[in-house]
Structure 1
Amino acid sequence: MNLSDIADQYADRFLEKYSQRLLPSQLKALNAIRGCRTPASGMTLLECNGCQLREQKPLSCGHRHCNRCQNTDTSEWLQRQRQKLLPVEYFMVTF
């Protein structure tokens, strides 16, 4: 299940209850996530030069809070952090 599916399923009830408290930026994030990779975000045309196959794909929203759009950036960041680790066992001590 994607975050956009959850947002679609509960948006009406959520907005009914909290719309007066939401900041414009929060409403913008909710709408971006709901429309990510749907025709609402726009479409791009992909065409194969070899076989002339044409296909339209929906665009991503690009919002910084969208888990679909930020998954690649997050994965790359995690990989960079893993490369910095020393080849030893780690543990946490709390005082």
Structure 2
Amino acid sequence: MLLSYVSANRDEEVFDQPFRFDIGREPNKHVAFGYGVHFCMGAALARMEVVSFFTELLPRLKSIELSGDPQFTATTFVGGLKRLPVSYSLM
């Protein structure tokens, strides 16, 4: 059995307009961190990191840019970035 995150997070029976990007979607029963007993142990840390980035680092950024080519994972299960080199300067 294989969970398809792409399909699960775009289920028309769960999400109103599932193919539209909506960062404030409510309710948002996505499965990015799994579900039930298989829920990701690092979910709380990942959410804290995102909040910290937007509240602490982002307001202090003077500039941010790519400093190399992105590398993507080669998998049929869960794709994504393997490496994203960036350069930034602070105010």
Scaled by the length of structure 2, the TM-score of the pair is 0.26
Between Structure 1 and Structure 2, the one with more helix by share is 1
| Greater radius of gyration (CA) | 1
Scaled by the length of structure 1, the TM-score of the pair is 0.25
Between Structure 1 and Structure 2, the one with more strand by share is 2
